[in-house]
Chains A and B, each alone.
Chain A
Amino acid sequence: MVKDEKKLLAEFQAKIDKGVKIEPKDWMPEHYRKQLIRMMSQHAHSEIVGMLPEGNWITRAPSLRRKAILLAKVQDEAGHGMYLYSAAETLGIDRTEMLEQLHTGKAKYSSIFNYPTLTWADIGAIGWLVDGAAIMNQTALAKGSYGPYSRAMVRICKEESFHNRQGYEIMCSLAFGTPEQKAMAQDALNRWWWPAIMMLGPSDDNSPNSAELMSWKVKMESNDSIRQRFIDRTVPQGDHIGLTFPDPLLKFNKETGHYEHGPINWEEFFNVVKGNGPCNKARLKARVDADKDGKWVREAAEAYAMKHTEKETLAA
């Protein structure tokens, strides 16, 4: 048995090294399966919970065009969630079980959605910063070894880059708008910059990447490295529209070609992850309530489907 497993593991590793994707019916180590279920379900939950802070502003979007774009965007997020739940189901867990883990607090979602969307500019900031950071992470994950997840990432990244552009476009309209609009944009950047930087995860000192997960191409790049790419890409965009980043130590290092930033408040990050963010309770409650209030609807659909199958069977 042990020998077999060693052989299987060697074959598994060889496939990954050659860049062959692992597919649902292929043999895989249990730790690989578990890690992927954790990552994919967490990702799916983030899409679904992420609908709440943005959905917040659908009814208040300031023009018909903005309303339509926001509706389409939030609908995309729901679609990503559904797609990712289905991809995770290929690993032998079902959506109901994943949702139960979300509702009981066992499964996490991205901590960024525990911050409130206070003004319209926050919708711009989410698209620009939050989706921008997510893309950095997801383009790396698209090169991962698990076929269904990597293919989902390719597709999702395409839509996310549209989301990112629409967010930046909102920020541009505001930054070049009336003084009140510009102030709104600046305030949103002040509030979202640090959480966006933190959403890419703890720094490498606090998040030792398992060599195993790296060699299995589950984790593709370190948090700090992704964070650096995000900052390097985003700061010039903010400068371009005349907004100021809320970090007095942020400066470009000509020698390294990278931006350097001030210290990150990890105490805040870990508190938000633990449940002490401004909206943790409200977000989870909204999801739990939707599930509870929808129970009778799902039961009705099931009962109806059962009756119909029975009738059809009897008629046959």
Chain B
Amino acid sequence: MEIHKALFEYCLRLADSSLILGQRLGEWCGHGPILEEDIALTNISLDFVGHATALLQYAAKVEGKGRTEDDLAYHRSEREFKNVLLVEQPNGDYAKTIARQFLFDTFQYYYYQALQESKDETLAALAQKSFKEITYHLRHSSQWVLRLGDGTAESHERIQNAINDLWMFTGDLFDMDEVDALLIKEGIAADPGQVKQKWNDHVAELFKKATLQMPAPTYMQRGSREGKHTEHLGYLLAEMQYLPRTFPDAKW
């Protein structure tokens, strides 16, 4: 595999995870449990859309076929999206949204920490810029895991159930294929294998503080690197993409 093809693919993976999670968080707008959280979720969504835009611009440049970030966001189909399975899971109640967010924020925190060392200057710079925001995201979701875990009996039960339900999608975060292998060898990509232990330790530590149980090891769902998703992604894309697909010649 050529490096620039691998790099294109790699950028799509990073971008898509941010874009899809940003899209999901945007669904909360106007419906949050308290005004302050409405603002926080919209703000975080905006950060993710910003990361995705920068990464898709870079992907388009690496590809060199004259496509734009919008072409990549709005004119790829279900099997061409490479986001991790976790982020496309529906919002559910606030506990589900927070659990999904915390599991992903923790991953992104350690992963982007490593990515700042990338030999690819653009990726290193983007990772540095995003890392500040990710640090804030992780603080936000961690605080809510604590509040919900160690809050009332109801909140405890809700967040524990959400974590249990989402756990089977966490293995996919750390999967590797030839794209990862090649780019890790070149010093371009961060190694998910090296992030896994840190992720696990941090999650376990916070769950303990929040009086929550770490789920038992379970059979993991995989496939995001091949664009094999859960059924939820198709609906999300249908909604997100319908306007540019209905009017392909239009500029907005």
- Most chain B beta-carbon neighbours within 10 Å: one of A64, A78, A85: A64
Find chain B residues with CB under 8 A from A85 CB: 35
CA distance A62 to B239 in the complex (A): 10
CB <8 Å contact, B155 and A299:
yes
> Is B251 interfacial (CB-CB < 8 Å)?
yes
Interface residues of A in 275-301 (CB under 8 A from B): 286, 289-290, 293-301
CA distance A248 to B67 in the complex (A): 45
Q: Give, as a whole number of angstroms, the nearest-CB distance from A185 to chain B.
A: 12
CB <8 Å contact, A75 and B43:
yes
Binds A, one of B103-111, B130-138, B142-150: B142-150
CB <8 Å contact, B147 and A294:
no
CB <8 Å contact, A297 and B39:
no
Find chain A residues with CB under 8 A from B53 CB: 64-65, 68
CA distance A299 to B158 in the complex (A): 13
CB <8 Å contact, A299 and B151:
yes
> Is B184 interfacial (CB-CB < 8 Å)?
no
Interface residues of B in 18-41 (CB under 8 A from A): 19, 23, 26-27, 29-39
Q: Which secondary structure dominates chain B's binding surface?
A: helix
CA distance A59 to B238 in the complex (A): 10
- Most chain B beta-carbon neighbours within 10 Å: one of A60, A120, A304: A304
> Is A66 interfacial (CB-CB < 8 Å)?
yes
Find chain A residues with CB under 8 A from B146 CB: 304
> Is B178 interfacial (CB-CB < 8 Å)?
no
CB <8 Å contact, A294 and B32:
yes
Find chain B residues with CB under 8 A from A189 CB: none
> Is B152 interfacial (CB-CB < 8 Å)?
yes
Interface residues of A in 33-75 (CB under 8 A from B): 48, 51-52, 55, 58-68, 71-72, 74-75
- Most chain B beta-carbon neighbours within 10 Å: one of A75, A298, A307: A75
Find chain B residues with CB under 8 A from A289 CB: 31
User: Taking A71-B26, A74-B30, A299-B155 as contacts, is the C-beta distance between A293 and B45 under 8 angstroms?
Assistant: no
CA distance A82 to B34 in the complex (A): 10
CB <8 Å contact, A300 and B152:
yes
Q: Give, as a whole number of angstroms, the nearest-CB distance from A249 to chain B.
A: 33
> Is B190 interfacial (CB-CB < 8 Å)?
no
CA distance A74 to B242 in the complex (A): 21
> Is A181 interfacial (CB-CB < 8 Å)?
yes
> Is B240 interfacial (CB-CB < 8 Å)?
yes
> Is B164 interfacial (CB-CB < 8 Å)?
no
Binds B, one of A143-151, A160-168, A172-180: A172-180
> Is A195 interfacial (CB-CB < 8 Å)?
no
Interface string of A66-100 (1 = CB under 8 A from B): 11100110110011011001000000000000000
Contact of B49 among A67, A294, A297, A303 (CB under 8 A): A67
CA distance A307 to B31 in the complex (A): 28
Q: Which residue of chain A lies nearest to B29 when distances are taken between CB atoms in the complex?
A: A55
Residues of B in contact with A, size category: 35 or more
CB <8 Å contact, A59 and B26:
yes
User: Taking A173-B252, A296-B154, A297-B148 as contacts, is the C-beta distance between A59 and B69 under 8 angstroms?
Assistant: no
Q: Which residue of chain B lies nearest to A292 when distances are taken between CB atoms in the complex?
A: B33
CB <8 Å contact, B33 and A78:
no
CA distance A60 to B247 in the complex (A): 13
Q: Which residue of chain B lies nearest to A301 when distances are taken between CB atoms in the complex?
A: B147
User: Taking A71-B46, A74-B42, A120-B243 as contacts, is the C-beta distance between A177 and B251 under 8 angstroms?
Assistant: yes
Find chain B residues with CB under 8 A from A120 CB: 243, 252
CB <8 Å contact, A177 and B250:
yes
CB <8 Å contact, B247 and A74:
no
Q: Which residue of chain A lies nearest to B210 when distances are taken between CB atoms in the complex?
A: A304
> Is B94 interfacial (CB-CB < 8 Å)?
yes
> Is B70 interfacial (CB-CB < 8 Å)?
yes
Known: A75-B43, A82-B35, A177-B250. 4 other contacts (CB 8 A): A59-B26, A68-B53, A299-B152, A299-B154
Interface residues of B (CB under 8 A from A): 19, 23, 26-27, 29-39, 42-43, 45-46, 49-50, 52-53, 56, 69-70, 73-74, 93-94, 146-148, 150-152, 154-155, 158, 239-240, 242-244, 247, 249-252
Interface residues of A (CB under 8 A from B): 48, 51-52, 55, 58-68, 71-72, 74-75, 78-79, 81-82, 85, 120, 170, 173, 177-178, 180-181, 286, 289-290, 293-304, 307
Give the 3 A-B CB pairs with smallest separation, nearest first: A294-B33, A300-B151, A300-B155
